Homo-oligomer: A and B are copies of this chain.
Amino acid sequence: MPSIPTLSLDDAKRVIAAAEAESSTQGQPSNIAVVDAGGNLVAHVRMDGAWLGSIDISINKAFTARAFDTATKDLGDLAQPGEQFYGINASNDGRVMIFAGGIPLERDGQVVGAVGVSGGTGVQDQAVAEAAASAY
């Protein structure tokens, strides 16, 4: 019987705690979301003062990173005008995010979920997401 490796709520909480710590260090509050192997939300937090518009974006960056097993930053490169996935962000009812901050979470070479961060610049979001991914 096939099975898919995935992550638990405890994993998600640990990943989010690491993101919160990095975000606090940067002094830029974030929205942080984790999805599981099915691309479905496991946990989300909006730090005090973080952008309201980033709730949706953090959740969908995580979705996107798992939906394509690709960091949203890298997908973004392929989604520019003239590139092979240009227009992909209109798919999936607008849930595909094509800018930095979404990273797949992997174990033993397999993607088991993803984290999405939104609330700062692309560079900030990426750094927070990387800190989060490192905690998995």
Contact = CB atoms under 8 A, between A and B. Distances in A.
Contact of A122 (B85, B89, B108, B112): B85
Given A45-B9, A46-B41, A99 B87 contact: yes
Interface in A65-120: 66-69, 76, 79-82, 84-94, 96-100, 107-108, 112
B40 A43 contact: no
Q: How many copies does the complex hold?
A: 4
B9 A46 contact: yes
B8 A112 contact: no
A92 B53 contact: yes
Contacts of A37: 4, 38
A39 B6 CA distance: 14
A51 B37 CA distance: 11
Interface of A: 1-9, 12-13, 36-48, 51-57, 60, 63-64, 66-69, 76, 79-82, 84-94, 96-100, 107-108, 112, 121-123
18 contacts: A3-B3, A3-B4, A3-B6, A9-B45, A9-B46, A12-B45, A36-B38, A37-B38, A38-B38, A40-B52, A42-B45, A43-B44, A43-B46, A53-B63, A53-B96, A56-B93, A57-B92, A85-B122
